[in-house]
Amino acid sequence: MRSSLRSVAAVAAGFVAASVVMMIVEAINGHVLYPELGSAAAGLKDPEAIRALLAKAPVDAFLVVLVGWILGSFAGGWVAGRLAARAAARHGLVLGTLLTVAGVANNLMIPPPLWFWIAGLVVLIPAAWAGARLVPAS
């Protein structure tokens, strides 16, 4: 029982760590690199207005978000693996799967281009697994 709770807590902590890294990168993207997009997106609620804004967004802005997703997934995988009692890579895979599901939900709410959909489905699990694999064996 204790091991199961530790595993759940490790994956939850990894999810939080991944989310924080992703939010930091996306904040930099929206406020520093592309402030015009960040200010235009602030307060938008209408899905059609969001789609129109994203249709005009440069590819670079999406690439920065994708890099944030990769970095966040990697960091979260490392945290989950580090906090897990054993089987660090397995915890990274579980976290990567959860992040992929969250990415799909995000893409359904804020529809990006098709290439971003595909990239989001492909990168999160391997990045979390790689982060978890860096945890030294104890």
Question: CA-CA distance, 115 to 97, in Å (whole number)?
Answer: 19
Average pLDDT, the chain: 90
Q: For tokens 């990894």, name the residue.
A: 14
**pLDDT surpasses 60 at 1:** no
Of 130 and 45, the one with more pLDDT:
130
From the list 44, 60, 59, the residue with the least C-alpha distance to 110 is: 44
The pLDDT-based confidence of 138 (bands split at 50, 70, 90) is low
**pLDDT surpasses 80 at 101:** yes
**pLDDT surpasses 60 at 66:** yes
In the chain, the percentage of residues whose pLDDT exceeds 70 is: 97
The pLDDT-based confidence of 44 (bands split at 50, 70, 90) is confident
Task: Break the chain into its structural domains and give their ranges.
Answer: 2-133
Per-residue pLDDT at 85: 77
Q: What is the pTM of this model?
A: 0.89
Question: CA-CA distance, 104 to 117, in Å (whole number)?
Answer: 8
Condensed to tens digits (0 to 9), the pLDDT of residues 68-96 reads 999 999 999 999 999 997 888 999 999 99
CB 93 within 8 A of CB 53: no
Question: CA-CA distance, 19 to 75, in Å (whole number)?
Answer: 10
